[in-house]
Chains A and B, each alone.
Chain A
Amino acid sequence: GAVVSQHPSRVICKSGTSVKIECRSLDFQATTMFWYRQFPKQSLMLMATSNEGSKATYEQGVEKDKFLINHASLTLSTLTVTSAHPEDSSFYICSAKRTGDTGELFFGEGSRLTVL
């Protein structure tokens, strides 16, 4: 099966610091990866679409300078929350689409960010 690993699973940081979350496809190549955030009891909200070797496409209302996305290889995408604030506390989830596949997404385990 296709496995997506997300790290760290939990992170606590101080307000004003930056946090990097990694998303790796372990056994397949992923040209496209997606980043979501999810607040308690709410559905997934797509933040951005990340394509290997190019700039990420951000959804409306998502600050690209605050949420930096890098997809430097076919197996790794990173999300950096810069100058984090308590309102950035959330569950961040990545998913990957296997190169050549039409649609099924494989999800990482998610990363819970708490900003103090």
Chain B
Amino acid sequence: GQNIDQPTEMTATEGAIVQINCTYQTSGFNGLFWYQQHAGEAPTFLSYNVLDGLEEKGRFSSFLSRSKGYSYLLLKELQMKDSASYLCAVMDSNYQLIWGAGTKLIIKP
């Protein structure tokens, strides 16, 4: 079956760095997405990785290793507004998105 695993909840301190991991087993691979979702709102797009390596976009970076079925989202200089759920999603061979359950990130002052 298809499976996306990511931690349920993480806590970090304002100004610090946090890494949210995502492992996946899917039938085929056509890219991995990270979305941010604040409570009661729709998800917003953060990143898309289809090749191995690190993609940096401001305070957020996303890494992919296709051979290991692994990705992480790195958030630097954490701000209180970064408190949200972070969803990992993989596009399979049928171009369908398989969603992880999301990681709730709690930022403390």
Give the residues from 25 to 84 in chain B that come closer than 8 angstroms, CB to CB, to chain A.
Answer: 30-31, 33, 40-45, 48
Residue A60 is within 8 A (CB to CB) of chain B in the complex: no
Residues of chain A with a CB closer than 8 A to B30's CB: 102-103
Residue of B42, B87, B95 touching A108 (CB-CB under 8 A): B42
Which of under 10, 10 to 19, 20 to 34, or 35 or more describes the interface residues of A?
10 to 19
Centre residue among B42, B44, B91, B96 by max chain A CB count within 10 A:
B42
Residue B97 is within 8 A (CB to CB) of chain A in the complex: yes
Interface size on B, residues (CB 8 A): 20
Measured CB to CB, the closest approach of chain B to A14, in angstroms, equals 23
Residue of A46, A91, A107 touching B44 (CB-CB under 8 A): A107
Determine the distance from Cα of A42 to Cα of B99 in the docked complex, in whole angstroms: 12
Residue of A44, A46, A104, A112 touching B33 (CB-CB under 8 A): A104
Residues of chain A with a CB closer than 8 A to B91's CB: 102-103
Q: Does A105 lie within 8 Å of B44, measured CB to CB?
A: no
Residue A43 is within 8 A (CB to CB) of chain B in the complex: yes
Q: Does B31 lie within 8 Å of A44, measured CB to CB?
A: no
